[in-house]
Amino acid sequence: MSGTRLNKYIASSGLCSRRKADELIESGVVMVNGKIITELGYSVAPKDKVFVNKQLIHPVKHEYYRFYKPAGYITTSDDEKGRKTIYDLLPEKLHNLKPVGRLDRESTGLLILTNDGDLINELTHPSAKVPKLYRVTINGKINNNDIDTMYKGIEIEDGKKAYAEVSVLEIDNSHTTMEILLYQGMNRQIRKMFEHLGFDVVSLKRIQHATLNLDGLKRGEFKPIKPQQIKELKNFLNRIANKK
């Protein structure tokens, strides 16, 4: 049967990545024309009706935006505690888009928003090791031993080490400002690393994720990512994948 592979069709709906779609297919929650499909290589034709968990899905056009997250907002679509979310700042037309990774409530900076499940997976999967660059200011003066410790790794979760590459930009009597490069995506990673070293984070801003940065954006502002930028991003991700 010719057509579109079922996992690609599901991913094209914005529901999830192809990898996650394979898991859904194997779990028996995917139906095509009323029949449960568990075959990973199954293909669907344009007129086929595909259901996931009894919900009809349709392919959608992929959208990509950059968003400059301000402080005071959490990176989610809903919050049980009633806190402000990034979607309070975004128009209704963007509420179907998901953030690529997270920034905690007091952190600021770049968020990529998209309904492209495959791209989200490529940017966030732990094995991908996609670089993310942050501008961070702490209370106190960092020294070379601290920098070396962060490079070699700090256990911030049981059995899990966090690593960071630090470039000092400025040190004054009471603060240090740095650029910090991460290849991981652990929860509150930078804050926990500095807490382990005895420092408080004053400000934390993500300034770049892979090939995308904050250029031309003001706080709270969003802009569509240009097709050429998406092409450059995907080429960059392919080069990373081919190095493994």
48 is known as an active-site residue: no
pLDDT at residue 80, rounded to an integer: 74
Confidence (pTM)? 0.85
Residue 200 has pLDDT above 70, yes or no: yes
pLDDT at residue 244, rounded to an integer: 60
Confidence of residue 15 (pLDDT cuts 50, 70, 90): confident
Residues near 236 by beta carbon (within 8 Å), at least 6 away in sequence: 210, 211
Domains of the chain in start order, with CATH, are 4-57 (3.10.290.10), 64-126+211-242 (3.30.70.580), 132-209 (3.30.70.1560)
pLDDT in tens, 43-73: 999 899 999 999 999 988 999 999 999 999 9
Confidence of residue 233 (pLDDT cuts 50, 70, 90): very high
Section 103-115 average pLDDT: 96
Ordered DSSP codes for the chain: --SEEHHHHHHHTTSS-HHHHHHHHHTT-EEETTEE---TT-EE-TT--EEETTEEE------EEEEEEPTT-BSSS--TT---BGGGTS-GGGTT-EESS---TT-EEEEEEES-HHHHHHHH-TTT---EEEEEEEES---HHHHHHHHH-EEEETTEEE--EEEEEEE-SSEEEEEEEES---TTHHHHHHHHHT--EEEEEEEEETTEE-TT--TT-EEEPPHHHHHHHHHHHHHHHHT-
pLDDT at residue 1, rounded to an integer: 45
pLDDT at residue 126, rounded to an integer: 81
Residue 2 has pLDDT above 70, yes or no: no
Section 88-96 average pLDDT: 94
Q: Which of 79, 104, 148, 215 is catalytic?
A: 104
Residue with tokens 């700042």: 89
User: What is the overall mean pLDDT for the chain?
Assistant: 93
